[in-house]
Structure 1
């Protein structure tokens, strides 16, 4: 329940608009209010401090409000907070995301003092007078977010028996199954949600995610491709669409979704990773580190590219892995984690029985990180193998 003591964040494009909303909050004696004119700054603060109520403008200059809401939910710290979403115009593409986020309070321009004050008063009153079913649902969702999954499922089952036509209860049961790594049960629950509301993009998206968890990326891609044009603001849907199409080697679609994600948020990690994986699949290793720099820190870049190289080496393309490692070394010369790339390069050379180059790579790893015992041991093994080969010849 909201009160005058609730922590409130207002994300609005200018101080003048902030003053209008502050008047509405002031009428309710709300004083614990923080105003932001930058959505990115609001995000950085909100991940460190917990806010109870957000007034969020869609049309923010640095990051749209609809993206901010989703990024906050992705942190895992939010889900029970109240949102008043503010926009110039409301359309089905925005509503689809708000529906998936379970956000029902919306205010559309014009933002007069009277309308703003009335809307804020309505939100506070509605939160005070929540129906019992909604209160119980929030308790179930709170347990889910706290990883009390048995409790969450018990609450959700009780709600399901009370109202078997509640789409969001079926979705919550599917989400619980997802956390329990039970894709078959996910499919059952999300299918039930789709039966309740056949036109629901939420149920369809969740069902596609369940197929991805089961490894059926082709079926997932079919669903997500049909949903994407209706949901151009849904970050998770576009991420899943990019990943599923990448998995079935439809690189053109995968890159198209990555491009959409970059338009929403230039720092989106999945978009960068999809673009890089498409380049790697085509044997083009140029600029892959630069592609990741906007979204990944130095350690994450090395880890991601190293893992990509390992996948190539574990398959049949060991030479491709070596080419990628060499490209990474050239692009990441100043990285303090580059020793890990040299180590994996040594493994790849060893797989080709090229102990000379393997020893050289391991030696570079040890030179850069003298306490790297695994690399030192591998270097010693390679040198011993080289000595044995020379003696034999």
Structure 2
């Protein structure tokens, strides 16, 4: 491979430590990624040199903070190829961004309308739409996977003249499967529906072009793409953002207030109430710069090669149920018959291997797979082939040990 993760690892000092007297092998990247020094430095630089509130202060520090804050918006807009920086709305994360849209579109729905999602969705892209359906009398419908984990050959019939909203993940956090987004978005457009893409699991791996996707909304979280926690992005086309009723009201999102009425601010500020997560915004921009400085396609190919290697080794070992695709994914999700995944996870943890065990906030998908949860190893640019092999070795040791009990 042209890409060498050892060149990047010095930027992630947290990875150099031990866990229970074993080298730390961090493979829980789908939950959150570690942060490189440029991101940590950008956050510290804000607090050391220009800590002040943005937009409201007429002094030196506030001017510096505001300039960096809005430069960050421009950086993120370019990172996802948004047409203008005003199309980028700051949120606490992908979950809040989806809720902003769900509440903001409530006024367009009526009884009998349909909200369409897929069976791959994280709860964050399910529960807000479910609750919106409860509040409005709309119907929540699901585009399902088949029993063997593939999409139906013909799913266009799920998109009807009652479809008002279509929301789908770009990549499943639970099993790593991708959604045929372009086809589904085009079908939704033919029905005049608003479209939202949950890109939380995609932006760290894939170059994202929201204009090419053509979706009305695109959401993601900073902490899954080497940025800080507590910061996320809601991208929207101008007409789509304009139709949203503000999710929160108060300071910053107003232009003029009297006791009788309030005039809301222009975009993007109309949807950003209160003091924003300034250091998070600056850290997220640094994460975008970090990723843009890399060969994104080489990073993706490396991450997929690690997942493919693990898939191949475990498939050959036998006795393991693997739910992820064999190729074109950056994670491996599995279970072992007659052994609880939490027992396997405990053994892995005792050997310094950090993975995730559970339902991955996808209860309906787990029910469809017929399991309570899976064990998930997910890869990032700093992971090595040695770590992929260590995961396999320790997992197989755990299976042998637990089968003997």
TM-score (norm 1): 0.25
TM-score (norm 2): 0.25
Between 1 and 2, higher relative CO (CA 8 Å, sep ≥ 6) is seen in: 2
Q: Which has more helix, going by share of residues?
A: 1
Q: Which has more strand, going by share of residues?
A: 2
